[in-house]
Structure 1
Amino acid sequence: MTDSDRETSILMELVKERYGERLTEEQLQHISKSLKSVMDAGKALREIQLENSDEPFNVFRPYRRKE
């Protein structure tokens, strides 16, 4: 079991404890999949090594007047 799987199951237990009686099994499965994708995205972001001097990537788009 990966870290994101453990985090997902901990959060799912919390969801079930708080809202389980109001959610169907299908809704709980959807929430579980959503949590898993959020955990995976967070893991990917944490793996990016940034220095304090790293700046955001800016896309330069010159203004073009519509004719």
Structure 2
Amino acid sequence: MELTINGTSRTVSPDVQTIEQLLESLQLAGKRVIVEWNERILQKEEHGTTVIGNGDTLEIVHFVGGG
């Protein structure tokens, strides 16, 4: 499946069907992230139920702590 993630075209496994699974595949599971899916900002509770499809566009921002 082809997705655009943060402006870059990426191929992901067809086994990845939800935002939650996508975050796991990108090693972002459990991290503080904001996900915009097809120009809609998702609540964290929606990550497990939002089904992604070929051609979807996502912006994923994750927060990095530091000093």
Structure showing greater Rg: 1
TM-score (norm 1): 0.27
TM-score (norm 2): 0.27
Q: Which has the higher strand share?
A: 2
Q: Which has the higher helix share?
A: 1
